[in-house]
Chain A
Protein backbone atom coordinates (compact mmCIF):
# COMPACT_ATOMS: atom_id res chain seq x y z
CA UNK A 1 0.00 0.00 0.00
CA UNK A 2 2.73 2.42 1.04
CA UNK A 3 4.81 1.50 -1.99
CA UNK A 4 1.94 2.06 -4.40
CA UNK A 5 1.33 5.50 -2.92
CA UNK A 6 4.97 6.36 -3.32
CA UNK A 7 4.95 5.34 -6.98
CA UNK A 8 1.93 7.54 -7.66
CA UNK A 9 3.50 10.57 -5.95
CA UNK A 10 6.79 9.96 -7.71
CA UNK A 11 5.10 9.79 -11.10
CA UNK A 12 3.18 12.95 -10.33
CA UNK A 13 6.40 14.78 -9.48
CA UNK A 14 8.07 13.53 -12.66
CA UNK A 15 5.24 14.77 -14.84
CA UNK A 16 5.21 18.15 -13.09
CA UNK A 17 8.94 18.52 -13.74
CA UNK A 18 8.44 17.48 -17.36
CA UNK A 19 5.69 20.06 -17.83
CA UNK A 20 7.77 22.81 -16.20
CA UNK A 21 10.72 21.98 -18.42
CA UNK A 22 8.57 22.01 -21.54
CA UNK A 23 7.17 25.42 -20.53
CA UNK A 24 10.71 26.70 -19.91
CA UNK A 25 11.69 25.56 -23.42
CA UNK A 26 8.75 26.94 -25.33
CA UNK A 27 7.98 30.10 -23.37
CA UNK A 28 10.47 32.42 -25.11
CA UNK A 29 9.23 31.21 -28.48
CA UNK A 30 5.64 31.80 -27.36
CA UNK A 31 6.66 35.30 -26.29
CA UNK A 32 8.24 35.95 -29.65
CA UNK A 33 5.12 34.88 -31.52
CA UNK A 34 2.69 36.94 -29.43
CA UNK A 35 4.97 39.97 -29.67
CA UNK A 36 4.94 39.68 -33.44
CA UNK A 37 1.13 39.88 -33.38
CA UNK A 38 0.82 42.64 -30.79
CA UNK A 39 -0.53 46.03 -31.87
CA UNK A 40 1.82 49.03 -31.34
CA UNK A 41 0.15 50.19 -28.10
CA UNK A 42 0.89 46.83 -26.47
CA UNK A 43 4.56 46.46 -27.43
CA UNK A 44 5.95 48.60 -24.62
CA UNK A 45 3.07 48.20 -22.24
CA UNK A 46 4.03 48.00 -18.57
CA UNK A 47 3.56 45.39 -17.21
CA UNK A 48 3.74 43.33 -20.40
CA UNK A 49 0.54 41.68 -21.64
CA UNK A 50 0.61 37.90 -21.85
CA UNK A 51 -1.35 37.84 -25.11
CA UNK A 52 -2.29 40.30 -27.86
CA UNK A 53 -5.58 42.19 -27.41
CA UNK A 54 -6.16 41.99 -31.12
CA UNK A 55 -4.28 40.24 -33.89
CA UNK A 56 -2.19 42.82 -35.66
CA UNK A 57 -0.56 41.83 -38.95
CA UNK A 58 1.07 45.16 -39.80
CA UNK A 59 4.29 44.11 -38.06
CA UNK A 60 4.81 41.55 -40.79
CA UNK A 61 4.13 44.13 -43.50
CA UNK A 62 6.58 46.48 -41.79
CA UNK A 63 9.37 43.87 -42.04
CA UNK A 64 9.05 43.72 -45.80
CA UNK A 65 8.74 47.51 -46.02
CA UNK A 66 11.79 48.31 -43.85
CA UNK A 67 14.07 45.61 -45.23
CA UNK A 68 14.63 43.80 -48.53
CA UNK A 69 13.36 40.82 -46.59
CA UNK A 70 12.32 38.69 -49.56
CA UNK A 71 15.82 39.10 -50.89
CA UNK A 72 17.34 38.00 -47.56
CA UNK A 73 15.02 35.00 -47.38
CA UNK A 74 15.91 34.04 -50.93
CA UNK A 75 19.64 34.34 -50.16
CA UNK A 76 19.28 32.24 -47.02
CA UNK A 77 17.26 29.65 -48.85
CA UNK A 78 19.69 29.32 -51.78
CA UNK A 79 22.79 29.35 -49.57
CA UNK A 80 21.45 26.83 -47.05
CA UNK A 81 19.94 24.67 -49.80
CA UNK A 82 23.05 24.49 -51.96
CA UNK A 83 25.30 23.97 -48.93
CA UNK A 84 23.12 21.04 -47.90
CA UNK A 85 23.15 19.54 -51.39
CA UNK A 86 26.92 19.73 -51.87
CA UNK A 87 27.57 18.62 -48.31
CA UNK A 88 25.52 15.47 -48.90
CA UNK A 89 27.18 14.61 -52.21
CA UNK A 90 30.72 15.19 -50.97
CA UNK A 91 30.00 13.77 -47.52
CA UNK A 92 28.45 10.55 -48.81
CA UNK A 93 31.41 9.85 -51.08
CA UNK A 94 33.81 10.34 -48.18
CA UNK A 95 31.64 8.36 -45.75
CA UNK A 96 31.39 5.41 -48.14
CA UNK A 97 35.13 5.39 -48.55
CA UNK A 98 35.69 5.47 -44.79
CA UNK A 99 33.05 2.88 -43.99
CA UNK A 100 33.84 0.36 -46.69
CA UNK A 101 37.07 0.74 -48.57
CA UNK A 102 40.56 -0.21 -47.54
CA UNK A 103 42.58 2.96 -47.42
CA UNK A 104 45.87 3.74 -45.79
CA UNK A 105 46.00 6.63 -43.38
CA UNK A 106 42.37 6.30 -42.34
CA UNK A 107 43.25 7.34 -38.79
CA UNK A 108 44.78 10.59 -39.99
CA UNK A 109 41.71 11.36 -42.08
CA UNK A 110 39.36 10.63 -39.17
CA UNK A 111 41.52 12.80 -36.97
CA UNK A 112 41.33 15.64 -39.51
CA UNK A 113 37.54 15.33 -39.66
CA UNK A 114 37.36 15.51 -35.89
CA UNK A 115 39.64 18.53 -36.05
CA UNK A 116 37.21 20.37 -38.33
CA UNK A 117 34.31 19.40 -36.05
CA UNK A 118 35.88 21.21 -33.11
CA UNK A 119 37.40 23.98 -35.21
CA UNK A 120 36.86 27.57 -34.00
CA UNK A 121 35.57 29.32 -37.11
CA UNK A 122 36.54 32.72 -35.76
CA UNK A 123 40.17 31.63 -36.10
CA UNK A 124 40.01 31.58 -39.90
CA UNK A 125 37.79 34.55 -40.72
CA UNK A 126 40.87 36.75 -41.21
CA UNK A 127 42.64 34.74 -43.93
CA UNK A 128 39.35 33.74 -45.57
CA UNK A 129 38.28 37.38 -45.70
CA UNK A 130 41.56 38.39 -47.34
CA UNK A 131 41.35 35.60 -49.91
CA UNK A 132 37.68 36.17 -50.70
CA UNK A 133 38.39 39.88 -51.08
CA UNK A 134 41.21 39.12 -53.52
CA UNK A 135 38.92 36.84 -55.53
CA UNK A 136 36.16 39.47 -55.33
CA UNK A 137 34.02 36.85 -53.62
CA UNK A 138 32.76 39.05 -50.79
CA UNK A 139 28.98 39.43 -51.01
CA UNK A 140 28.70 36.31 -53.15
CA UNK A 141 26.93 33.05 -52.42
CA UNK A 142 30.06 30.95 -52.77
CA UNK A 143 31.81 32.90 -49.98
CA UNK A 144 29.27 31.37 -47.61
CA UNK A 145 28.41 28.11 -49.33
CA UNK A 146 31.99 26.80 -49.47
CA UNK A 147 32.72 27.36 -45.76
CA UNK A 148 29.28 26.00 -44.82
CA UNK A 149 29.96 22.80 -46.75
CA UNK A 150 33.37 22.41 -45.16
CA UNK A 151 32.30 23.02 -41.60
CA UNK A 152 29.26 20.74 -41.89
CA UNK A 153 31.14 17.87 -43.52
CA UNK A 154 32.24 16.24 -40.23
CA UNK A 155 28.66 15.81 -38.97
CA UNK A 156 27.49 14.60 -42.39
CA UNK A 157 30.33 12.12 -42.66
CA UNK A 158 29.71 10.83 -39.14
CA UNK A 159 26.02 10.24 -39.72
CA UNK A 160 26.49 8.67 -43.14
CA UNK A 161 29.44 6.50 -42.13
CA UNK A 162 27.34 4.82 -39.46
CA UNK A 163 24.57 4.30 -42.03
CA UNK A 164 26.90 2.80 -44.62
CA UNK A 165 28.47 0.54 -42.02
CA UNK A 166 25.07 -1.05 -41.38
CA UNK A 167 24.37 -1.93 -45.01
CA UNK A 168 25.19 -5.65 -45.55
CA UNK A 169 28.37 -6.24 -47.50
CA UNK A 170 26.73 -9.10 -49.43
CA UNK A 171 24.75 -6.55 -51.43
CA UNK A 172 27.90 -4.96 -52.75
CA UNK A 173 29.53 -8.30 -53.48
CA UNK A 174 26.44 -9.41 -55.37
CA UNK A 175 26.46 -6.27 -57.46
CA UNK A 176 30.16 -6.68 -58.21
CA UNK A 177 29.54 -10.25 -59.32
CA UNK A 178 26.83 -8.91 -61.60
CA UNK A 179 29.55 -6.86 -63.24
CA UNK A 180 28.99 -3.44 -61.71
CA UNK A 181 32.00 -1.18 -61.22
CA UNK A 182 32.71 0.39 -57.84
CA UNK A 183 31.07 3.61 -58.97
CA UNK A 184 27.97 1.82 -60.22
CA UNK A 185 27.74 -0.19 -57.00
CA UNK A 186 27.91 2.97 -54.96
CA UNK A 187 25.38 4.92 -56.99
CA UNK A 188 22.89 2.15 -57.74
CA UNK A 189 23.05 -0.10 -54.68
CA UNK A 190 24.47 1.71 -51.69
CA UNK A 191 23.23 5.28 -51.99
CA UNK A 192 19.53 4.37 -52.29
CA UNK A 193 19.82 2.34 -49.07
CA UNK A 194 21.39 5.29 -47.26
CA UNK A 195 18.55 7.67 -48.08
CA UNK A 196 17.27 7.85 -44.46
CA UNK A 197 20.74 8.79 -43.25
CA UNK A 198 21.11 11.39 -45.99
CA UNK A 199 17.79 12.86 -45.03
CA UNK A 200 18.82 13.16 -41.38
CA UNK A 201 22.12 14.78 -42.34
CA UNK A 202 20.33 17.12 -44.76
CA UNK A 203 18.00 18.46 -42.06
CA UNK A 204 20.86 19.13 -39.65
CA UNK A 205 23.07 20.81 -42.26
CA UNK A 206 20.20 22.93 -43.53
CA UNK A 207 19.35 24.18 -40.04
CA UNK A 208 23.02 24.91 -39.27
CA UNK A 209 23.48 26.86 -42.51
CA UNK A 210 20.15 28.66 -42.14
CA UNK A 211 21.08 29.81 -38.61
CA UNK A 212 24.75 30.65 -39.19
CA UNK A 213 25.74 34.18 -38.26
CA UNK A 214 29.47 34.90 -37.81
CA UNK A 215 30.71 34.03 -41.31
CA UNK A 216 27.65 35.61 -42.89
CA UNK A 217 28.34 38.78 -40.92
CA UNK A 218 31.97 38.95 -42.01
CA UNK A 219 31.64 37.96 -45.66
CA UNK A 220 28.56 40.01 -46.59
CA UNK A 221 29.37 43.69 -46.53
CA UNK A 222 26.38 44.82 -48.53
CA UNK A 223 22.93 43.39 -49.05
CA UNK A 224 23.87 41.33 -52.12
CA UNK A 225 24.27 37.95 -50.44
CA UNK A 226 23.12 38.93 -46.95
CA UNK A 227 21.24 36.17 -45.14
CA UNK A 228 18.27 36.63 -42.83
CA UNK A 229 20.13 36.36 -39.46
CA UNK A 230 22.49 39.17 -40.46
CA UNK A 231 19.64 41.16 -41.99
CA UNK A 232 17.65 40.99 -38.77
CA UNK A 233 20.69 41.75 -36.60
CA UNK A 234 21.19 44.94 -38.61
CA UNK A 235 17.55 45.93 -38.46
CA UNK A 236 17.38 49.67 -38.92
CA UNK A 237 16.39 51.37 -35.68
CA UNK A 238 17.96 54.68 -34.83
CA UNK A 239 16.30 55.93 -31.66
CA UNK A 240 14.45 52.91 -30.44
CA UNK A 241 14.56 49.25 -31.35
CA UNK A 242 11.49 48.25 -33.38
CA UNK A 243 10.68 45.15 -31.31
CA UNK A 244 7.37 44.52 -33.06
CA UNK A 245 8.89 44.33 -36.54
CA UNK A 246 11.95 42.44 -35.29
CA UNK A 247 9.70 39.85 -33.65
CA UNK A 248 7.72 39.46 -36.85
CA UNK A 249 10.95 38.98 -38.82
CA UNK A 250 12.18 36.53 -36.21
CA UNK A 251 8.97 34.52 -36.48
CA UNK A 252 9.34 34.33 -40.25
CA UNK A 253 12.95 33.13 -40.12
CA UNK A 254 12.23 30.68 -37.31
CA UNK A 255 9.18 29.08 -38.92
CA UNK A 256 11.10 26.86 -41.39
CA UNK A 257 13.29 25.39 -38.65
CA UNK A 258 10.37 24.92 -36.28
CA UNK A 259 8.48 23.14 -39.08
CA UNK A 260 11.46 20.84 -39.63
CA UNK A 261 11.63 20.14 -35.90
CA UNK A 262 7.93 19.30 -35.64
CA UNK A 263 7.90 17.04 -38.68
CA UNK A 264 11.26 15.35 -38.28
CA UNK A 265 11.96 15.38 -34.54
CA UNK A 266 12.86 11.69 -34.44
CA UNK A 267 15.37 11.98 -37.27
CA UNK A 268 16.91 15.11 -35.81
CA UNK A 269 17.43 13.45 -32.44
CA UNK A 270 18.88 10.35 -34.10
CA UNK A 271 21.28 12.53 -36.07
CA UNK A 272 22.31 14.69 -33.12
CA UNK A 273 23.10 11.71 -30.95
CA UNK A 274 24.68 9.49 -33.60
CA UNK A 275 27.97 11.35 -33.49
CA UNK A 276 28.35 10.95 -29.78
CA UNK A 277 27.01 7.58 -28.78
CA UNK A 278 29.14 4.67 -29.70
CA UNK A 279 27.61 1.61 -31.30
Chain B
Protein backbone atom coordinates (compact mmCIF):
# COMPACT_ATOMS: atom_id res chain seq x y z
CA UNK B 1 0.00 0.00 0.00
CA UNK B 2 1.51 3.23 -1.13
CA UNK B 3 0.49 6.22 0.87
CA UNK B 4 3.18 8.81 0.63
CA UNK B 5 2.69 9.90 -2.95
CA UNK B 6 1.60 13.44 -2.46
CA UNK B 7 1.45 15.19 -5.81
CA UNK B 8 2.56 18.77 -5.80
CA UNK B 9 0.53 19.65 -8.85
CA UNK B 10 -3.07 18.60 -9.26
CA UNK B 11 -3.67 17.40 -12.74
CA UNK B 12 -6.76 16.89 -14.79
CA UNK B 13 -6.74 13.41 -16.26
CA UNK B 14 -4.55 13.18 -19.30
CA UNK B 15 -5.20 16.38 -21.18
CA UNK B 16 -2.50 18.65 -19.81
CA UNK B 17 -1.03 19.72 -23.09
CA UNK B 18 -4.01 20.75 -25.05
CA UNK B 19 -6.34 22.63 -22.82
CA UNK B 20 -9.38 22.38 -24.98
CA UNK B 21 -12.50 24.40 -24.51
CA UNK B 22 -14.48 21.47 -23.14
CA UNK B 23 -11.89 20.94 -20.43
CA UNK B 24 -12.16 24.57 -19.42
CA UNK B 25 -15.91 24.17 -19.21
CA UNK B 26 -15.56 21.01 -17.20
CA UNK B 27 -13.18 22.74 -14.80
CA UNK B 28 -15.71 25.53 -14.38
CA UNK B 29 -18.41 23.00 -13.59
CA UNK B 30 -16.31 21.11 -11.09
CA UNK B 31 -14.47 24.18 -9.90
CA UNK B 32 -15.39 23.51 -6.30
CA UNK B 33 -13.83 20.06 -6.32
CA UNK B 34 -10.75 21.18 -8.22
CA UNK B 35 -10.09 23.78 -5.53
CA UNK B 36 -10.54 21.22 -2.77
CA UNK B 37 -8.40 18.58 -4.43
CA UNK B 38 -4.93 19.57 -3.14
CA UNK B 39 -6.21 19.85 0.44
CA UNK B 40 -8.00 16.51 0.23
CA UNK B 41 -4.97 14.76 -1.27
CA UNK B 42 -2.67 16.14 1.42
CA UNK B 43 -4.94 15.34 4.33
CA UNK B 44 -5.71 11.91 2.89
CA UNK B 45 -2.07 11.14 2.19
CA UNK B 46 -0.75 12.26 5.56
CA UNK B 47 -3.58 11.33 7.90
CA UNK B 48 -6.27 9.01 6.58
CA UNK B 49 -4.33 6.53 4.45
CA UNK B 50 -1.48 6.24 6.98
CA UNK B 51 -3.90 5.49 9.81
CA UNK B 52 -5.25 2.57 7.77
CA UNK B 53 -1.69 1.38 7.29
CA UNK B 54 -1.01 1.83 11.01
CA UNK B 55 -3.90 -0.54 11.64
CA UNK B 56 -2.53 -2.95 9.04
CA UNK B 57 0.93 -2.81 10.66
CA UNK B 58 -0.60 -3.44 14.07
CA UNK B 59 -1.65 -6.87 12.77
CA UNK B 60 1.96 -7.73 11.96
CA UNK B 61 5.29 -8.47 13.53
CA UNK B 62 7.57 -5.82 12.09
CA UNK B 63 10.88 -4.97 13.69
CA UNK B 64 13.04 -2.86 11.42
CA UNK B 65 16.21 -3.51 13.41
CA UNK B 66 17.37 -6.18 11.00
CA UNK B 67 15.70 -6.84 7.67
CA UNK B 68 12.14 -5.58 7.36
CA UNK B 69 10.44 -8.89 7.76
CA UNK B 70 6.76 -8.28 7.99
CA UNK B 71 4.75 -11.23 9.24
CA UNK B 72 0.99 -11.32 9.65
CA UNK B 73 0.04 -12.29 13.19
CA UNK B 74 -3.62 -11.27 13.41
CA UNK B 75 -4.52 -9.71 16.74
CA UNK B 76 -1.48 -11.10 18.59
CA UNK B 77 -0.15 -7.60 19.27
CA UNK B 78 -3.45 -6.63 20.86
CA UNK B 79 -3.44 -9.72 23.07
CA UNK B 80 0.11 -8.86 24.11
CA UNK B 81 -1.00 -5.29 24.83
CA UNK B 82 -3.75 -6.44 27.18
CA UNK B 83 -1.10 -8.19 29.31
CA UNK B 84 1.43 -5.36 29.10
CA UNK B 85 1.75 -3.60 32.47
CA UNK B 86 3.73 -0.78 30.92
CA UNK B 87 0.83 -0.09 28.54
CA UNK B 88 -1.74 0.00 31.34
CA UNK B 89 0.59 2.19 33.37
CA UNK B 90 1.02 4.67 30.54
CA UNK B 91 -2.74 4.66 29.90
CA UNK B 92 -3.32 5.45 33.58
CA UNK B 93 -0.68 8.18 33.53
CA UNK B 94 -2.22 9.73 30.43
CA UNK B 95 -5.65 9.79 32.05
CA UNK B 96 -4.35 11.24 35.32
CA UNK B 97 -2.41 13.87 33.43
CA UNK B 98 -5.32 14.76 31.13
CA UNK B 99 -8.03 14.94 33.77
CA UNK B 100 -5.95 16.88 36.31
CA UNK B 101 -4.43 19.38 33.93
CA UNK B 102 -7.63 20.05 31.99
CA UNK B 103 -9.69 20.57 35.16
CA UNK B 104 -7.10 22.90 36.66
CA UNK B 105 -6.79 24.79 33.39
CA UNK B 106 -10.54 25.12 33.19
CA UNK B 107 -10.93 26.53 36.71
CA UNK B 108 -7.99 28.91 36.33
CA UNK B 109 -8.91 29.79 32.78
CA UNK B 110 -12.53 30.56 33.62
CA UNK B 111 -11.49 32.63 36.63
CA UNK B 112 -9.08 34.61 34.58
CA UNK B 113 -11.47 35.04 31.67
CA UNK B 114 -13.97 36.58 34.09
CA UNK B 115 -11.28 38.89 35.47
CA UNK B 116 -10.08 39.92 32.01
CA UNK B 117 -13.66 40.62 31.03
CA UNK B 118 -13.88 43.16 33.84
CA UNK B 119 -10.47 44.77 33.43
CA UNK B 120 -10.55 48.08 31.58
CA UNK B 121 -6.94 49.24 31.70
CA UNK B 122 -3.93 47.45 30.26
CA UNK B 123 -5.96 44.96 28.28
CA UNK B 124 -3.52 44.66 25.41
CA UNK B 125 -0.60 44.32 27.80
CA UNK B 126 -2.40 41.47 29.58
CA UNK B 127 -3.24 39.76 26.32
CA UNK B 128 0.34 39.93 25.13
CA UNK B 129 1.59 38.57 28.44
CA UNK B 130 -0.80 35.63 28.49
CA UNK B 131 0.00 34.70 24.89
CA UNK B 132 3.64 34.14 25.85
CA UNK B 133 3.14 30.70 27.45
CA UNK B 134 0.98 29.68 24.51
CA UNK B 135 3.64 30.73 21.97
CA UNK B 136 6.74 29.26 23.60
CA UNK B 137 7.73 25.95 21.97
CA UNK B 138 6.74 23.08 24.33
CA UNK B 139 10.29 21.76 24.08
CA UNK B 140 11.58 25.03 25.46
CA UNK B 141 9.05 25.15 28.26
CA UNK B 142 9.98 21.58 29.14
CA UNK B 143 13.65 22.55 29.42
CA UNK B 144 12.81 25.78 31.22
CA UNK B 145 10.70 24.05 33.86
CA UNK B 146 13.28 21.31 34.26
CA UNK B 147 15.82 23.96 35.16
CA UNK B 148 13.37 25.75 37.44
CA UNK B 149 12.49 22.49 39.23
CA UNK B 150 16.15 21.66 39.86
CA UNK B 151 16.66 20.18 43.32
CA UNK B 152 19.59 22.46 44.18
CA UNK B 153 19.52 25.69 42.23
CA UNK B 154 15.93 25.62 41.00
CA UNK B 155 13.83 28.71 41.52
CA UNK B 156 10.68 26.72 42.33
CA UNK B 157 12.36 25.30 45.44
CA UNK B 158 13.81 28.68 46.39
CA UNK B 159 10.39 30.29 46.02
CA UNK B 160 8.50 27.68 48.04
CA UNK B 161 11.24 27.77 50.69
CA UNK B 162 11.01 31.53 50.96
CA UNK B 163 7.25 31.34 51.38
CA UNK B 164 7.83 28.78 54.14
CA UNK B 165 5.84 26.09 52.33
CA UNK B 166 8.74 23.61 52.39
CA UNK B 167 11.46 22.98 54.99
CA UNK B 168 14.06 21.71 52.59
CA UNK B 169 14.60 21.68 48.84
CA UNK B 170 12.60 19.02 47.04
CA UNK B 171 13.87 16.69 44.36
CA UNK B 172 10.84 16.93 42.07
CA UNK B 173 11.84 14.01 39.90
CA UNK B 174 12.63 11.29 42.46
CA UNK B 175 9.07 10.05 42.88
CA UNK B 176 6.29 9.37 40.42
CA UNK B 177 3.77 11.54 42.23
CA UNK B 178 6.03 14.61 42.40
CA UNK B 179 7.13 14.20 38.80
CA UNK B 180 3.48 13.98 37.73
CA UNK B 181 2.57 17.07 39.77
CA UNK B 182 5.50 18.92 38.21
CA UNK B 183 4.41 17.89 34.69
CA UNK B 184 0.81 18.87 35.30
CA UNK B 185 1.81 22.26 36.69
CA UNK B 186 4.07 22.98 33.72
CA UNK B 187 1.23 22.05 31.36
CA UNK B 188 -1.22 24.22 33.29
CA UNK B 189 1.21 27.11 32.91
CA UNK B 190 1.53 26.53 29.18
CA UNK B 191 -2.10 26.06 28.24
CA UNK B 192 -4.28 27.97 30.70
CA UNK B 193 -3.92 31.12 28.55
CA UNK B 194 -5.45 29.33 25.57
CA UNK B 195 -8.37 28.22 27.71
CA UNK B 196 -8.79 31.72 29.14
CA UNK B 197 -8.81 33.28 25.66
CA UNK B 198 -11.45 30.90 24.32
CA UNK B 199 -13.65 31.47 27.37
CA UNK B 200 -13.14 35.24 27.19
CA UNK B 201 -14.24 35.20 23.55
CA UNK B 202 -17.33 33.30 24.69
CA UNK B 203 -18.03 35.80 27.48
CA UNK B 204 -17.85 38.66 25.01
CA UNK B 205 -20.66 37.18 22.94
CA UNK B 206 -23.11 37.31 25.87
CA UNK B 207 -25.32 40.37 25.37
CA UNK B 208 -24.98 42.93 28.14
CA UNK B 209 -28.70 43.71 28.45
CA UNK B 210 -29.39 40.26 29.89
CA UNK B 211 -27.32 41.25 32.92
CA UNK B 212 -29.08 44.60 33.13
CA UNK B 213 -32.45 42.86 33.13
CA UNK B 214 -31.19 40.58 35.91
CA UNK B 215 -30.02 43.63 37.87
CA UNK B 216 -33.50 45.12 37.67
CA UNK B 217 -34.91 41.86 38.98
CA UNK B 218 -32.46 42.15 41.87
CA UNK B 219 -30.28 39.15 41.08
CA UNK B 220 -27.04 38.74 43.04
CA UNK B 221 -23.69 38.39 41.32
CA UNK B 222 -23.61 34.70 42.16
CA UNK B 223 -27.10 34.16 40.76
CA UNK B 224 -26.15 35.98 37.58
CA UNK B 225 -23.06 33.78 37.23
CA UNK B 226 -24.99 30.53 37.73
CA UNK B 227 -28.14 31.47 35.84
CA UNK B 228 -26.80 33.58 32.99
CA UNK B 229 -23.05 33.32 32.50
CA UNK B 230 -22.59 29.56 32.82
CA UNK B 231 -25.54 28.46 30.64
CA UNK B 232 -24.72 30.96 27.90
CA UNK B 233 -21.03 30.14 28.09
CA UNK B 234 -21.68 26.39 27.90
CA UNK B 235 -20.98 26.04 24.15
CA UNK B 236 -17.63 27.82 24.48
CA UNK B 237 -16.75 25.83 27.59
CA UNK B 238 -17.42 22.53 25.88
CA UNK B 239 -15.40 23.42 22.78
CA UNK B 240 -12.48 24.65 24.90
CA UNK B 241 -12.62 21.51 27.05
CA UNK B 242 -12.83 19.24 24.02
CA UNK B 243 -9.78 20.72 22.32
CA UNK B 244 -7.77 20.86 25.52
CA UNK B 245 -8.69 17.29 26.47
CA UNK B 246 -7.58 16.01 23.08
CA UNK B 247 -4.35 18.02 23.28
CA UNK B 248 -3.56 16.83 26.79
CA UNK B 249 -4.29 13.25 25.79
CA UNK B 250 -1.80 13.54 22.91
CA UNK B 251 0.85 15.22 25.07
CA UNK B 252 4.39 14.39 24.09
CA UNK B 253 6.95 17.21 23.85
CA UNK B 254 6.60 18.69 27.32
CA UNK B 255 6.78 15.45 29.32
CA UNK B 256 9.38 13.89 27.01
CA UNK B 257 11.71 16.79 27.77
CA UNK B 258 10.70 17.38 31.38
CA UNK B 259 10.81 13.86 32.83
CA UNK B 260 11.56 11.58 29.89
CA UNK B 261 8.79 9.40 31.34
CA UNK B 262 10.66 8.77 34.58
CA UNK B 263 11.21 7.96 37.30
CA UNK B 264 10.61 4.28 36.39
CA UNK B 265 8.01 5.08 33.70
CA UNK B 266 5.79 6.76 36.29
CA UNK B 267 5.11 9.75 34.01
CA UNK B 268 5.28 7.89 30.73
CA UNK B 269 2.24 8.78 28.64
CA UNK B 270 0.79 6.76 25.77
CA UNK B 271 2.27 8.75 22.92
CA UNK B 272 5.69 8.48 24.53
CA UNK B 273 5.36 4.72 24.88
CA UNK B 274 4.32 4.45 21.22
CA UNK B 275 7.21 6.68 20.17
CA UNK B 276 9.79 4.75 22.20
CA UNK B 277 8.50 1.38 20.96
CA UNK B 278 9.06 2.49 17.39
CA UNK B 279 12.08 4.71 17.75
CA UNK B 280 14.15 2.97 20.42
CA UNK B 281 13.05 -0.66 20.00
CA UNK B 282 12.28 -0.27 16.27
CA UNK B 283 9.20 -2.44 16.84
CA UNK B 284 6.77 -0.96 14.33
CA UNK B 285 4.17 -3.69 14.72
CA UNK B 286 3.69 -3.24 18.44
CA UNK B 287 4.19 0.53 18.25
CA UNK B 288 1.39 0.70 15.69
CA UNK B 289 -0.84 -1.23 18.06
CA UNK B 290 -0.35 1.41 20.76
CA UNK B 291 -0.90 4.11 18.13
CA UNK B 292 -4.22 2.56 17.16
CA UNK B 293 -5.33 2.53 20.80
CA UNK B 294 -4.47 6.25 21.02
CA UNK B 295 -6.43 6.91 17.84
CA UNK B 296 -9.48 5.01 19.06
CA UNK B 297 -9.40 6.75 22.43
CA UNK B 298 -9.24 10.15 20.73
CA UNK B 299 -12.33 9.23 18.71
CA UNK B 300 -14.12 8.02 21.84
CA UNK B 301 -13.31 11.24 23.72
CA UNK B 302 -14.59 13.32 20.79
CA UNK B 303 -17.76 11.25 20.52
CA UNK B 304 -18.31 11.60 24.25
CA UNK B 305 -18.10 15.39 24.01
CA UNK B 306 -20.24 15.67 20.89
CA UNK B 307 -22.90 13.03 21.58
CA UNK B 308 -23.12 12.94 25.36
CA UNK B 309 -22.35 16.52 26.33
CA UNK B 310 -23.73 18.01 23.12
CA UNK B 311 -20.68 20.00 22.13
CA UNK B 312 -21.43 21.99 19.02
CA UNK B 313 -18.36 22.11 16.85
CA UNK B 314 -18.52 24.56 14.01
CA UNK B 315 -20.14 22.49 11.35
CA UNK B 316 -20.89 24.66 8.35
CA UNK B 317 -18.72 26.93 6.29
Contacts and interface: CB of A to CB of B under 8 A. Distances in A.
A26 to B, nearest CB: 5
Contact of B4 (A93, A132, A266): A132
Contacts, number: 296
B202 A262 contact: no
Interface in B220-240: 235-236, 239-240
Interface of A, helix, strand, loop or mixed by DSSP: helix
B137 interface: yes
Contact of B291 (A48, A126, A131): A126
B87 interface: no
A14 to B, nearest CB: 5
A229 interface: yes
Given A46-B152, A276-B198, A276-B243, A127 B45 contact: no
A122 B291 contact: yes
A247 interface: yes
B215 to A, nearest CB: 12
Interface residues of B, number: 102
A132 B295 CA distance: 21
B148 A31 contact: yes
> Looking at A93, A94, A123, which has the most chain B CB atoms within 10 Å of its CB?
A123
Contacts of A128: 4, 46, 50
B79 to A, nearest CB: 19
Given A90-B42, A97-B36, A150 B47 contact: yes
Interface string B28-68: 10011101101110111111101101100100000010000
A109 B115 contact: no
Given A115-B47, A128-B50, A132-B4, A106 B202 contact: no
B36 to A, nearest CB: 5
Contact of B131 (A45, A150, A269): A269
Interface string A202-231: 000001001101100110000000000110
B170 interface: no
B228 to A, nearest CB: 18
B236 A121 contact: no
Interface of B: 2-4, 6, 28, 31-33, 35-36, 38-40, 42-48, 50-51, 53-54, 57, 64, 111-112, 115-116, 118-119, 122, 124-141, 143-145, 147-148, 152-155, 158, 161, 189, 193-194, 197-198, 201-202, 205, 235-236, 239-240, 243, 246, 249-250, 252-253, 256-257, 271, 274-275, 278-279, 284, 287-288, 291-292, 294-295, 298, 302, 312-317
